[in-house]
A and B are shown apart, each in its own frame.
Chain A
């Protein structure tokens, strides 16, 4: 045990994981959290290779998948959060070739925040900066104790860093702003937990901006003015602050303007950065890849003739399915039938569907073609982008005879 591997349980991509291997299977995982262990130990129910519900050879399934995609006028390619960056690039090339809609989970997740960061509208930093420098950490609409179990222990609150030698005990302040008292809020302590009503985030931000400008902060829900002033005092004194934005905040804001205003104000009075709490291990990787290729992070439809990218709400996976404008779908490492509302996802079961995934899921049960792939970060290597935008190299841990999703996508593209 001396080699470190990368855990692909969430977008923290912890790279200090040691494993014991017995008989080409991961037997014991050291240092990873329960989420990571569950992923690294592999599927309890692996997916079979099938065509029309019957067991099939991988070659047959790949040529059937290619046939479905080339017959379709407006196919949809969706998923990508659990694929390596190499596979995502292949997927984008495939979408270009077939004139497909291409989207990922950021479309209804952290998309707006990642977009703002890539367009340089928001100041950001890496998690290593947080470990070494951050003294004020705000978890806004996020509960890393449940979503990213090692966030607090590995980077944001507990560890000792170069400029934070006393760690959580004296050098760091954790603040939680949420609609409920989450597990993270309990760790922050009652004094540092600000409970706001649902949808009250934008107003709370405006109130904070007022407090930071020396005005009386007011909210329609009558939040204790003294506590907001006290919070603004803590933020003003911060030497290196960071806001970890969770889905609670993203879903609450109709537009990002209040967040931009708050970040600008915070950077006038002190130094503040923002990190999105990305869920799936390489969702941000897809956003980077597509941004490099087209200038958009998600919700793209390639024009079949010119290859130009059209972008907008209409090109999102949700709208494309709701408007029934797609006639076939390729799902990679995702389970939209489980995660999307049934009113939207029901249409997926009516069209030819291809699923590429290591494990069996609900979408696979309704698919025309299912192709099992190697488990990213365990049975296949590659690169992925962490939630803070740092590229992490993943090594293969155990061997498999399954193809990686990158190889499957390459072969489908070649067969069209």
Chain B
């Protein structure tokens, strides 16, 4: 996912305040946090000279429409179903130590990752350690993926 600066560079950078934010930088921050939409920036949508930037930004945010509440995305086309994330995920291990935690097929319904038809499927995302009040920046599933098919936005 792009950084705030990358998003900012694609905005008009005029601080026109039409979106209700005081600066374009503030808009970029909210856009990344998904509090506003790309279309909320009227000069970007209407002005022909920003057309290319508008398309780039729209594309950037369209790709994350399947995102779960924790910001977890599984890129189906990249996933090979190796199950590294299934076994490495600390929540899977805690909820299913003798199944997923021991390398076997998950035997509990509480696991976050499960491989189905050769592609990993995320479920029970509210259990993810990146979610909730005591969230931490866990990267077990990202680090262990050989094809970089898992991403957090």
Contacts and interface: CB of A to CB of B under 8 A. Distances in A.
Partners in one complex: yes
B116 A184 contact: no
Interface in A301-332: none
A320 B87 CA distance: 46
Interface in A148-178: 149-150, 152-155, 158-161, 167-168
B119 interface: yes
Contacts of B82: 33, 145, 149-150, 152-153
B10 interface: no
Interface in B106-135: 106, 114-119
Interface in B133-153: 144, 146-147
B64 interface: no
A37 B97 CA distance: 25
Contact of A37 (B83, B102, B117, B147): B117
Interface stretch (A23-31, A85-93, A133-141): A23-31
B146 A153 contact: no
Interface string B61-99: 000000000000000000111111011100001000100
Contacts of B146: 145-146, 183-184, 186-187
B81 to A, nearest CB: 4
Interface residues of A, number: 34
B115 A31 contact: yes
A131 interface: yes
Contacts of A146: 80, 146
Contacts of A158: 84, 87-88, 103, 144
B83 A31 contact: yes
Q: Which of B79, B80, B114, B118 is the most central at the interface, judged by chain A CB atoms within 10 Å of its CB?
A: B118
Contact of A33 (B81, B87, B114): B81
A34 B81 contact: yes
A150 B80 CA distance: 10
A154 B118 contact: no
B97 to A, nearest CB: 7
A4 to B, nearest CB: 8
Nearest to B84: A153
Interface in A2-20: 4, 16-18
B116 A30 contact: yes
Nearest to A27: B117
Contacts of A250: none
B117 A161 contact: no
Contact of B144 (A30, A154, A161, A187): A187
B103 A153 contact: yes
Nearest to B106: A31
A59 B86 CA distance: 48
B105 A159 contact: no
Contacts of B101: 159-160, 167
A131 B102 contact: yes
A153 B83 contact: yes
A159 B81 contact: no
Contact of B81 (A149, A168, A183, A186): A149
A371 interface: no
Interface string A113-132: 00000000000000000010
A324 B83 CA distance: 46
B115 A30 contact: yes
Contacts of B117: 28-29, 37
Contacts of A4: 105
Contacts of B106: 31
A149 B86 contact: no
B104 interface: yes
A154 B81 contact: no
B102 A150 contact: no
A33 B115 contact: yes
A146 B115 CA distance: 17
B114 A37 contact: no
A155 B104 CA distance: 9
A168 B101 CA distance: 11
Given A33-B82, A183-B146, A184-B146, A159 B118 contact: no
B80 A33 contact: yes
Contacts of B114: 30-31
Given A37-B118, A149-B82, A158-B88, A31 B105 contact: yes
A32 B88 CA distance: 17
A269 interface: no
19 contacts: A16-B105, A28-B116, A33-B80, A36-B81, A131-B102, A145-B82, A145-B146, A149-B81, A150-B82, A153-B86, A154-B83, A158-B88, A158-B103, A159-B101, A160-B97, A167-B101, A168-B88, A187-B84, A187-B144
Closest 4 CB pairs of A and B: A159-B103, A34-B118, A31-B105, A37-B118
Interface of A: 4, 16-18, 28-38, 131, 145-146, 149-150, 152-155, 158-161, 167-168, 183-184, 186-187
Interface of B: 79-84, 86-88, 93, 97, 101-106, 114-119, 144, 146-147
Given A34-B80, A37-B117, 7 more contacts: A16-B104, A16-B105, A30-B105, A31-B114, A158-B144, A160-B93, A187-B144
